[in-house]
Chains A and B, each alone.
Chain A
Amino acid sequence: MQINLEKSQTKKYLLLSILGTGFIMLIANFVGQEVTTLTTNLLYVPVSGALVVLSIIISTRFSVKGEHGRAWIFFVGSAVSWFIAEQIWLVYDLVYQIDPFPSPADFFYIAGYPFLFLFSMYYLKPLKDAISKKTLICVSLIAMTLLVPSLYIASGQDSQISDFELALALSYPIADAIILIPALIGVTLFFRGEVNFLWSLICIAIILNVVADTGFLITSMDGSYYMGHPVDMLFLWAYILFSFGVYSHIQIFKKHQPNIKSQNLDLR
């Protein structure tokens, strides 16, 4: 009963956070470009910071032992990496007022992907028997379908950019396609009713992040991107979904009163 109540409250706060972020960005966009840039950059600080804090909490709870423990360590790696990237982006954009691409932020953004992939591997391990070959082939095809046009768009950048910048631009869609496979598997399991919604939040967040990355790529290519563009809302929502996914795990695997355990030992 209490678990169900906690679950519904978590869903309520999740909805409020998503609507709240969207509303703030909408208002900022109405006020003006400078306010939008400032608001969006500042929104990334608490949103990505909260994810770091929550992931450290869950990782500490599991420690390094066990499959879940290893999974959460990788998740911390990803969260910290992206948090650093967001701060570097903010400094470049707000303080130095120069284009943050390419910058050390890209190194940290890309470094987050292998961590996230390893996390999703360990995260889905307990569910591996439910993953059929058909599902695996289908999601791989979807990832490939997304990769080809994204690579085409990324490689079609103006010829003035260096090979390094081109390689950097191409690495995002490749990383996205790889990370999309376990994420789609997780969501497929949710739609088949085999895992609960909160288990799937992290996978939904990964998909939203991939969509945002693709949107960012397209809008950057046609020159319509600005800090505070609706694409940024998708990035922020992805962080929020990640945070609530982690939070739901903290709720599920919370510390319990030791008296139950001691009773358990007494009976053995």
Chain B
Amino acid sequence: MFDVTNGEISKALVTLAIEKTLLNMGKPVLDEVTHRLFANYKCFIPDCHEHPEYLKSVLNELYGNCYSNIVESIKKSLDEFARKKSIEQFLMVISE
């Protein structure tokens, strides 16, 4: 039996949403974001659940201020879980 906490479920959902959105754009986009997250912040995509500002900054580096469309797509993927507190927090920071 696995003991999975709510926090871990939220983290997995956020990770899936980010990866799905970036993969929809192209695998090199996912690879580049993963690489820059590690190079700039020594973190990985699952860590963006706690640090959405890292993801925001990396997307900003790649797409300038026009990353809002990508954020919108991530938000759409997480729509039905948006009432979970940690996901709500993640969405709030990334949408600012």
- The binding surface of chain B is classed by DSSP as helix
Over the window 182-217 of chain A, the binary record of Cβ atoms lying under 8 Å from chain B Cβ atoms (1 yes, 0 no) is 000000010001111001000000000000000000
Complex Cα–Cα for A125 and B67 (A): 11
Complex Cα–Cα for A220 and B72 (A): 49
A-B contact number at CB 8 A: 83
B24 touches A126 (CB 8 A): no
How many whole Å from B4's CB to the nearest CB in chain A?
A: 13
Interface centre among B23, B44, B46, B67 (most CB of A within 10 A): B44
Interface residues on A, range: 20 to 34
Question: Given that A66-B29, A67-B25, A267-B44 are known contacts, is A129 also in contact with B72, CB under 8 Å in the complex?
Answer: yes
Over the window 22-51 of chain B, the binary record of Cβ atoms lying under 8 Å from chain A Cβ atoms (1 yes, 0 no) is 011111110110110010000011100000
Question: Given that A261-B34, A264-B44, A267-B44 are known contacts, is A253 also in contact with B28, CB under 8 Å in the complex?
Answer: yes
Whether B69 sits at the interface, judged by CB under 8 Å, is: yes
B44 touches A68 (CB 8 A): no
Complex Cα–Cα for A267 and B28 (A): 21
| Listed stretches A57-65, A84-92, A94-102; interface member | A57-65
B32 touches A253 (CB 8 A): yes
A66 touches B27 (CB 8 A): yes
A193 touches B65 (CB 8 A): yes
Over the window 28-58 of chain A, the binary record of Cβ atoms lying under 8 Å from chain B Cβ atoms (1 yes, 0 no) is 0000000000000000000000000000000
How many whole Å from B57's CB to the nearest CB in chain A?
A: 14
Question: Out of A127, A196, A261, which one reaches B31, CB within 8 Å?
Answer: A261
Question: Out of B15, B44, B64, which one reaches A199, CB within 8 Å?
Answer: B64
Residues of A that sit less than 8 Å from B by CB: 61-63, 65-69, 125-130, 189, 193-196, 199, 252-253, 255-256, 260-261, 263-264, 267-268
24 residue pairs bridging A and B, Cβ less than 8 Å apart: A62-B27, A65-B26, A66-B24, A66-B25, A66-B27, A68-B25, A68-B28, A69-B26, A129-B69, A129-B72, A130-B65, A130-B68, A194-B65, A195-B64, A199-B64, A252-B32, A253-B28, A253-B31, A256-B35, A261-B34, A263-B38, A267-B44, A268-B15, A268-B46
